[in-house]
Amino acid sequence: MSAPRLALLTIDSPLSSAAVSRLLEQRGAEIALLGLSSPTGPAAAWRALRRSGPRILPFLAANYALPALRPSRLARAARERGIPVHRVADVNDAASHAALRTAAPDLIVTCHFDQILAPETVALAPLGGINVHPSLLPRHRGPVPTIWALAEDPPAWGVSVHRLAPRIDAGAILAQAPVALPPGVSASGAARRLHLAALPLLDEAIAAIAAGRPDPLPAVILPYCPFPPAALLRDLARRGRRLVSIPDVTTWIDP
């Protein structure tokens, strides 16, 4: 099979935008649709604040709220390449299904996407769907894996590409690798580096799927890691481990 047509679903966030921009550059001819979700609403922020306390606010601001104040660079980059852009309010609603049917992708790729695809949504792509996750699954399943990894001693950094499944980050692992990161890296900086480090693994997974190789069996599913409790963030601060650094903030300011 030739290179499959892709529907790429993501969030326009500094945590992953460099990796997604590179995907648009390298695979622009294969990407039939860019879907952008916006997880910056007050309800989502309030849920994170209730669970994690005020120490989570700089992380949310730097990676979601402040970047949302400017026009989407990913949308602009996609349109410059003639790639349709769909704003994803609900990936499983009629509008998203219509966008996917029009794009007619062979494979759905999610990268730092905040919505769970229903089986009928994944079925709109003949080759199914895969996800890029910045952790060594099955460890650190959930929305902020680099915060949980940062709490370990030493942090266990790595990336995985896995099949989409109805449970979060629970599908069969198609490719995986540990990644060495510099000492003192923040959780935000780690996420940026890990999403970029995942791109060769994503290439490997897409090639295997296009060649018709069977998926491995799903891994054992470990407990889900949601937004961390306030006590964990207090412990990180006490140990000098940061969720956000100055370079993380300037990432979304730079042209």
* pLDDT for the residue numbered 255: 39
pLDDT digits (tens, 9 = 90+) for 192-213: 999 999 999 999 999 999 999 9
* pLDDT for the residue numbered 40: 60
* pLDDT of 137 above 70: yes
The residue among 32, 55, 213, 48 whose CA lies nearest residue 124 is 32
**Which CATH number among 3.90.226.10, 3.40.50.170, 3.30.365.10, 1.10.10.10 corresponds to the domain 6-253?**
3.40.50.170
What does the domain layout of the chain look like in residue ranges?
6-253
The residue among 133, 109, 84 whose CA lies nearest residue 206 is 109
Q: Which two tokens stand for residue 156?
A: 């266990």
* pLDDT of 249 above 80: no
168, 226 contact by CB (below 8 A): no
pLDDT digits (tens, 9 = 90+) for 39-77: 766 677 788 888 999 999 999 989 988 888 788 999 999
Distance CA(55)–CA(49), nearest Å, equals 8
pLDDT digits (tens, 9 = 90+) for 142-164: 999 999 999 999 999 999 999 99
